[in-house]
Amino acid sequence: MLCYFISKKDFAILNCVEVESISCAKNLDCGGKTKISIAGNPAASDEDFVIVKDGNKVVFQGIIEAIDNADGEMKHSVSCLEIEQMFSRQIFLTDAAIISETGIEDFIATAIRKNFSESGDDFIDMKYININVLTHTKVNAKPATESGIYNLKTYLGNAKQHYGIFLDFEFTKENLNITIHKKEQSPMQIDTAFTDVVSIKETYKVKVLSKLSVIWKNTTTNAETKRYFYLHSDRSVSEINEDRIDGTISTKYIEAETEAEMIEAARNEFKNNSYSHAIEAQFIASSKIFPANELYVGHEVKIRTFAGVKDSIISEISTSDSTDVIAVKFGILKVTLTDKLK
């Protein structure tokens, strides 16, 4: 395997070295960390791009977090972040109407252009970025902000989790091509009884949210209204108190400009029901039953464990060239002792 280092500043290739070992991790928050060991000096800096290729196959794409080496030795360890971390910056929320009028994908493209590639600041603009929008998913929702400011990387993770919006990155000689699209996918069927699943552990499960009390602050009028939403047996959500599923009750304070935005935010709370568990499994990397290219973060699944069948999502993937298994986590619930006591 070869590791290429590319300058964030001018997109020039800084170095190409042999990879001794690599372990990768990806998750829904785009916060996975990757470790690459190389027998040489990368001649690169923090936030420069990293590409690891095995022949023509791209094994990893990301940005440098830190570079370490032993005193007097050429061997270096490069800590990397997922490539979406290049957009981890607090920015002002503008053009939010694009989300409902044109699509989430178009909003993301506009945010990247206005803040990262065509802001007018030649010192920091990444003019080599080329964006292609393939789909247009209209929803009545906006990024959560604090004083009108949000983090674009965080929004990318939310868009993937709730709406299946993905960013694909491709490096060419002159451009970093970014394709933004909604991935049409049917849930992957996973039965953990198959021998291709090396191990399985379901650590915790909670009841589903069945009723949500919402206090909606209309940011235009400042008026506050209380609304109630219910989960029904057909998994639909409405404000009709009939045919309800037994479960937990919660309350949420939502600030939104329109009723449609408030309703979308409330429905997203119920979507988390599908992920209210923590399942970990290891798959044989060469499995034909569960192909490695289908095991990606954000892929919806129906998974059968000893406790039954659950709708879920792949929330984390870990691989290493020192093992022939792929470690997969399903669900996004982070359970602590405090959570259990509650």
Is 254 a residue whose pLDDT tops 80? yes
* Strand-pair partners of 39: 75
Same domain for 319 and 199: yes
Query: Domain range for residue 58?
Result: 2-83
pLDDT at residue 185, rounded to an integer: 82
End-to-end CA gap in the chain = 48
Average pLDDT estimate for 217-229: 94
Which H helix or E strand runs over 101?
helix 97-101
Same domain for 280 and 265: no
* Residue 283: partners with Cβ closer than 8 Å, 6 or more residues away: 196, 197, 198, 290, 292, 295, 325, 326, 328
pLDDT at residue 338, rounded to an integer: 38
Same domain for 173 and 59: no
DSSP annotation of 208 reads: P
The total number of residues shown for the chain amounts to 342
What does the H/E/C string look like for 139-203?
Answer: CCCCCCCECCEEEHHHHHHHHHHHHCEEEEEEECCCCEEEEEEECCCCCEEEECCCCCEEEEEEE
The pLDDT tens digits for 159-177 are 998 899 999 999 999 999 9
Domain end position, chosen among 54, 83, 112: 83
The pLDDT tens digits for 123-152 are 999 999 999 999 999 999 889 888 889 999
Mean pLDDT of the chain: 89
pLDDT at residue 224, rounded to an integer: 95
Predicted confidence band at 332 (pLDDT cuts at 50, 70, 90)? low
Is 206 a residue whose pLDDT tops 80? no
More confident site: 331 or 104: 104
Same domain for 193 and 286: yes
Rounded distance, CA 305 to CA 302, Å? 10
Same domain for 317 and 200: yes
Whether the model pTM is above 0.85: no
The pLDDT tens digits for 264-322 are 999 988 877 765 667 889 999 999 999 999 999 999 898 888 777 878 889 999 999 88
Number of structural domains the chain divides into: 4
Same domain for 169 and 200: no
Are 254 and 262 spatial neighbours (Cβ–Cβ below 8 Å)?
Answer: yes
The pLDDT tens digits for 59-84 are 999 999 999 986 667 789 999 999 99
pLDDT at residue 71, rounded to an integer: 62
